[in-house]
């Protein structure tokens, strides 16, 4: 999974971690929540080596589901000529989303606007 800026993210136990530093043998991640002090270390293949501290917030699996859906929609829009509304309908039907995740999925119009901004204003 990747952030909106294209940076690598690691999902572990329904928490999202952003890559903080990479060495020849290890990767260091920190919780994406800025108020959380949880960090972890993996090898180069993202196999967990150790953790430091605990999360001070609950996991948000629904947010992760929605981010994955948005990523798939964005990737399809970059690589296909299919209209965004059709991609949105196909992917929301294909993804198994919990009812809570469906409640927080951006509307088709919001997705279209965001993808337009990401794809065309970066050029």
pTM for the predicted model, two decimal places: 0.68
Query: Do 8 and 24 contact (CB within 8 A), yes or no?
Result: no
Q: pLDDT means per 10 residues in the chain (123 residues)?
A: 84 94 96 96 95 94 85 88 86 73 67 62 52
* CA triple 72-7-119, angle to 5 deg: 50
Res 8: pLDDT:
87
Res 66: pLDDT:
83
Number of neighbours of residue 45 by Cβ within 10 angstroms: 6
Res 4: pLDDT:
76
Res 6: pLDDT:
79
Number of neighbours of residue 31 by Cβ within 10 angstroms: 21
Res 85: pLDDT:
85
**DSSP H or E segment with residue 119:** helix 108-120
Domain ranges of the chain: 9-52, 61-120
Res 100: pLDDT:
59
């Amino acid at each position: 999974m990747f952030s909106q800026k294209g940076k690598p993210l690691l999902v572990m136990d329904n928490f999202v971690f952003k890559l903080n530093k990479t060495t020849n043998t290890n990767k260091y991640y920190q919780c994406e929540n800025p108020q959380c002090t949880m960090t972890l270390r993996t090898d180069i293949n993202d196999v967990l080596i150790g953790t430091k501290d605990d999360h001070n917030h609950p996991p948000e699996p629904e947010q992760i589901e929605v981010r994955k859906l948005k990523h798939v929609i964005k990737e399809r829009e970059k690589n296909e000529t299919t209209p965004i509304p059709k991609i949105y309908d196909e992917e929301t039907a294909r993804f198994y989303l919990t009812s809570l995740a469906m409640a927080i999925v951006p509307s088709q119009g919001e997705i279209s606007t965001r993808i337009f901004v990401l794809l065309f204003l970066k050029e």
